[in-house]
Copies of this chain bind each other. A is one copy, B any other.
Amino acid sequence: MKTIKSLQEKRNTAILLIFCPDKQGILSTVTEFLNKNNGNIIYLDQHVDREEKIFYMRVEWELEGFAIPSDKIGEYFETLIGSKLQMNWKLYFSDNTPKMALFVSKMPHCLFDILARYTAGEWDVEIPIIISNHEKLKPVAERFGIDFFYFPITKENKADQELKEIKLLKEKKIDFIVLARYMQILSEEFVALFPNKIINIHHSFLPAFAGAKPYHAAHERGVKIIGASSHYVTSDLDAGPIIEQDVTRCSHIDTVQKLIRKGRDLEKFVLSNAVYKHLQRKVLVFNNRTVVFN
């Protein structure tokens, strides 16, 4: 089932994501560089964290008519600006569709939501593979025409299986990973290979109820609101930089089962929103916190 039709207009643009120590004139330096080289800016957002004294910026401009060839932009920018201002920057081209791998276990709701958006052309992404530690969702992958790889995990084979997964991810040139309710903890070694490139959904309003069985814990505590949180995975469980959160009301009439049902909708919504922001290159990470541009 190929994409019905892309809802994304393809644009021929470049995107710069920047952060660096704040000082006067960074913004005008960057915008002047683009203007002088005839780069028509179509998006600009910036933020200064005045406590940490860090300047953050996302700028996107049209490549058509831009004086610097695309394959030289990075070099020129680093030489003329980046190195002088100690910038940490990344350059993306909007015609370069990123490749995403999906990790799932048994619960299908996030998987379905992502594949529906993918098939409907809501996102500019390729999903070459789905990886799972269970076989249950294989039929879903098949019907959407996506290769499904089964890697059962035990304490004993975990290291080996992860090596195979990593090999596969490299072969397929995967850019980032989405854990769509994948109920296995990735090893530190695995995580270290994909810094800020593994997006997880945790079924609570973090930092409340980190770890296992958050809906049971929420019910036990008698909260009046439940939530879901999407974050980049770090070696510290459920403690990585948060990309997106959302909540919904609950009450004494909600059993754990009802919380789980309500939570499913939150989870898929929050995860898909986080993936969308990531795909748009609108997320920067510094100090275990995210800057998410508008």
> Which segment, of A81-89, A153-161, A201-209, faces chain B?
A201-209
Q: Which of B24, B116, B206, B291 contacts A112 (CB 8 A)?
A: B116
The stretch among A71-79, A139-147, A168-176 that forms the contact with chain B is: A139-147
A contact set with B: CB distance below 8 Å: 1, 4, 7, 24-25, 27-28, 31-32, 35, 40-42, 44, 46-51, 56, 108-109, 112-113, 116-117, 119-120, 122, 136-137, 139-140, 143-144, 205-209, 221-225, 227, 241-247, 249, 251-253, 255, 261, 264-265, 269, 272, 288-292, 294
Cα A46 to Cα B241 with chains together (Å): 27
Query: Once the chains bind, are B51 and A255 in contact (CB under 8 Å)?
Result: yes
Q: Considering the chains assembled together, what is the distance between the CA atoms of A56 and B251 in angstroms? A: 14
Task: Please give the distance in Å from A222's CB to the nearest CB on chain B.
Answer: 3
Quick check: B116 and A120 within 8 Å, CB to CB? no
The residues of B that contact A261 with a CB separation of less than 8 Å are 7, 122
When the two chains form their complex, are residues A223 and B241 in contact, meaning their CB atoms are under 8 A apart?
no
A223 contacts B252, C-beta separation under 8 Å: no
Distance of A215 Cα from B140 Cα, bound (Å): 33
Known pairs A31-B31, A205-B205, A242-B223; A252 contacts B294 (CB<8 A):
no
**Chain B, Cβ-Cβ closest to A294:** B253
Question: Can you list 5 pairs linking A and B with CB atoms under 8 Å apart?
Answer: A24-B35, A27-B27, A27-B31, A42-B50, A269-B269
What's the nearest-Cβ distance from chain B to residue A248, in Å?
Answer: 10
**When chains A and B are docked, how far (Å) is the Cα of A266 from the Cα of B272?**
13
Partner of A244 from B31, B224, B253, B294 at Cβ < 8 Å = B224
